[in-house]
Amino acid sequence: MSNVQKYGVFGDPIHHSLSPVMHNAAFSNLGIPAVYEAFLVKPGDLEHAVLKAKDDGFRGLNITIPHKESVLKFDFISPDPFSKMVGAANTLRFLPTGIEAFNTDAMGALLALESENCSTDGKNILVIGAGGASRSISFLFGQRQNPLKIINRTAEKAEKLAAEISGKTGNNVSAGGFSNLLDDVEWADIIIQTTELGMGKYESVSVFDQTESVDSDENLRNNLLKKYLTPNTVVFDIVYNPKETKFLKEARTAGAKTINGTMMLVYQGALAFELWTGQKPDVSVMKDAVLKALDAKQNEK
């Protein structure tokens, strides 16, 4: 039997995934004989694929879009308390006793903030978006009893998520649409952007384009944003490609401290790696591998 440990990521689509280069760099840096591969798994095939991975001796898997919620439906998977509360998992660990599920996305976001010297305790957190990515992050800050507001294009979706988090954490989470965006921005110490705005087909769109209260003229907009964003405001966009979204650029120009999604990707991976191997990977090795792969993608364009 080969002693090479097997790991991977299941998703659909999956060809863009940076997890293989990131994890393989970490394994090789620690001298762990392991291989991490990306697998295209269609929604109907998830159960079979997870069971096959177990039979094939896999030690761990990452689970990504669109499977993070559905993976918890299988009764042969035991979720840890946080992934159970959120209802979504991104990491599976295969043990002789069974398969465990974890959610390292939210803690990845927290560690990304902390790695930029941004402490979060007691800070007012504004989360933009109410989809899957927002869900994990919002639950974490809800559970940590931060003052928390979730805003979303579709306000009802934010309200529903806020009510669910309030019910499960005892925190009093507020919610709304984008109509009071500037007041919400002024209230926040930390703003976390979780929507697809700024990437792919929305590359030229910022959250500030979504409200009538912000001018479209660049100079007017910058002057306005300067009144609501301070040098102490931290603006974190979980998008990592492009490295600086339009939203992040506007926040930086207005004087806020900005952070992109690279380190969240790295830390969610590092936490999974530690769950699988019991060893702490070198996050700088993982970050370098991600940045190199992103640069290569950029050159392909």
Q: Beta-carbon neighbour count of residue 159 at 10 Å?
A: 18
Q: Which among 19-27, 74-82, 132-140, 266-274 is the span making contact with ligand ATR, rule CB under 6 A?
A: 132-140
Nearer to ligand ATR, 134 or 233 (CB): 134
Contact with ligand ATR (CB under 6 A) among 87, 132, 269, 281: 132
CA-to-CA separations, 194 to 32, 109, 132, 152, in angstroms, rounded = 34, 11, 9, 10
**Does residue 83 have a known ligand-binding role?**
no
The closest alpha carbon to 264, from 105, 120, 43, 96, belongs to: 105
Q: Which among 142-150, 179-187, 192-200, 219-227 is the span making contact with ligand ATR, rule CB under 6 A?
A: 192-200
Q: Whole-angstrom Cα distance, residue 207 to residue 124?
A: 19
Contact with ligand ATR (CB under 6 A) among 24, 70, 210, 253: 210
**Does residue 230 have a known ligand-binding role?**
no
- Binding of residue 153 to ligand ATR (CB under 6 A): yes
Q: How far is the CB of 21 from ligand ATR (least distance, A)?
A: 21
Contact with ligand ATR (CB under 6 A) among 91, 143, 195, 245: 195
Nearer to ligand ATR, 103 or 152 (CB): 152
Largest CA distance in the chain: 66
> First vs last Cα of the chain: how many Å apart?
42
Indicate the SS3 state at residue 63: strand
DSSP 151-201: E-SSHHHHHHHHHHHHHHH----EEE-STTHHHHHHH-SEEEE-SSTTSGG
Q: Any catalytic annotation for residue 280?
A: no
| Residue matched to tokens 């694929």 | 49
Nearer to ligand ATR, 151 or 225 (CB): 151
**Does residue 176 have a known ligand-binding role?**
no
Catalytic center residues:
68
Interface with ligand ATR (CB under 6 A): 129-134, 152-154, 157, 194-197, 202, 210
**Which residue numbers belong to the known binding site for shikimate?**
17-19, 64, 90, 105, 240, 268
